[in-house]
Structure 1
Amino acid sequence: MSTAQMQATYKQNALKTASPGELTLMLYNGCLKFIKQAEQAMSAEQVEERNVYITKAQNIIRELMVTLKTDSEVGTNMMRMYDFALNRLIDANVKNELTALKEAEEIMTEFRNTWKEVILLDRKQRHGVGGQA
């Protein structure tokens, strides 16, 4: 089995065994990865690549929006922030605007960091031990 095949198998197993919270964290991390790649493509003036990566980040945010429960004030506010980040990604793509890309990145980084803390606190409460998320 090649290294690439082993990595693919590992990722597949991680997805199959992840909790819903861990899957959400994976989405945040994936979104941030694509935003970083879009930033690199933007700096290199690679328009097609920038579009591909921004579109992937947008798709992840849309998935987060679809699964978000908005029956509370927190959920409603999160939806607004997701919508703002999504619109900033659209601006970044259409206008080739690094500032808009950075704003979306900041928002998604905050969500990711907060979610990571939630997972760690949940683990500590359920298992009485720390762990890495």
Structure 2
Amino acid sequence: MTEYERSRTMPARPEQIFDQAAHVDQLDEWLPGTLHVRAGDPPAVTVHEDRHGEDTRALLQARPEQLRLEWGTRDQGSYAGWLQVAGLDSGASEVTVHLSFFDAGHDPGRQAVHDALDSSLRRLEEQVRLHVDDTAD
């Protein structure tokens, strides 16, 4: 098993970040550009990966009381992950994403995963900023 984790501090309340991250219809806005999620019968989702042109049956579960998202593959159990939002005393929040690859064949490698996680966290921050700015007007 290989595990990866990245964190980013964002200038927003934890609830605002979690609400944006957990919105199933907007996951494509912050996930890596090669992944696309289609909602099914919750918690079931389908993830399409452009790189292989495949659809994978997956689960996505939001735990709002914990400000946590959890996901993983349904059939082969080769991949799982979570996103956790924690408030900071400054009014900002820290967002952590953790990925676990149980099958080495599904692990794209350390650099590719770190780049994808950093990019996803940056895109999530942009989406949160847009949403917060829209509600402030």
Give the TM-score normalised by the residue count of structure 2.
0.31
- Higher normalized contact order (CA 8 Å, seq sep 6+, divided by chain length): 2
Higher-Rg structure is: 1
TM-score, scaled relative to structure 1: 0.32
Higher relative strand content? 2
Would you tell me which structure has more helix in proportion to its own residues? 1
